[in-house]
Amino acid sequence: MPDCNQTEFLICLASKLIEDRTTAFVGTGIPMLAAALAKRLHAPNLVSIFEFGGTGASLEKLPLGVGDSRTFHKAVAASGICDMMETAQRGFIEYGFLGGAQIDSYGNLNTTVIGQYWPPKVRLPGSGGANDVGSHCWKTIIIMRQHDTRRFVPKVDFITTPGYLTGPGAREKAGLPPNTGPYRVVTNLALMDFEPETRRMRLIATHPGVTKEQVIENTGFELPVADEVKTNPTPTDEELKILREKIDPERYYISK
């Protein structure tokens, strides 16, 4: 098995979830590297969308933020944040990457506050463009670097970004586009999807060496388990070589 760290594993796993000839709303960090890796290996026609207006950048050089000039390098368009959000609202963006401090069984995310809203126990950065991404992209891929009961909670303290809210039909009732919502959750332990009937998060694959029991034990709500739980593939030598030598040779992210 190739020797890799947790960040490299998450990047390689997330990249495999992106299909060719699609659009993806890409945020800073793991999503950028996952998109760049996907473009080099299996999704050459992926169109990356960046919050501050870059559309279809080549990703030949890794941007360090969503407003970095590299998000416009060899792009098909250079626009602005309002145009990007409108593009999502019009239904033109298939994938969106998200993260959060808390997540519940329906994929609702909290990046606003821990504890009561005022006075808060911890004040977090807030939404940024996350609410727009989670509300309007067809499929959201949620990356949680740490899988534990502090982050996977029965009920988030604040819904910054809607998942499936309270269950089937709740997104549509709230006025959000039908057939949109959380698609996959990638963590340091496992890969989850959402049951079509209940819209609850479900375990579908564990990382090598991780058991179903470990994932369930580190989840703060009842976690349904698929009939067949697979093992996520380890990064290949080719993936790691491209990631380390071509995408992030300065180790801005993959050393973390």
Catalytic residues: 51
* Farthest-apart Cα atoms in the chain, separation: 50
- Token look-up 């490299």 returns 8
Q: How far apart are CA 26 and CA 137, in angstroms?
A: 11
What b-and-e string marks burial along 5-34, b requiring 16 or more CB atoms within 10 Å of the CB? eebbbbbbbbbbbbeeebbbbbbbbbbbbb
Distance separating alpha carbons of residues 202 and 223, to the nearest angstrom: 6
Q: How far does Cα 3 stand from its chain's mean position?
A: 24
How far is residue 126 CA from its own chain's centroid?
Answer: 16
Residue type, 52: F
The DSSP string of 75-88 is: -SEE--HHHHHHHH
CA angle 183, 4, 50 (to 5 degrees): 45
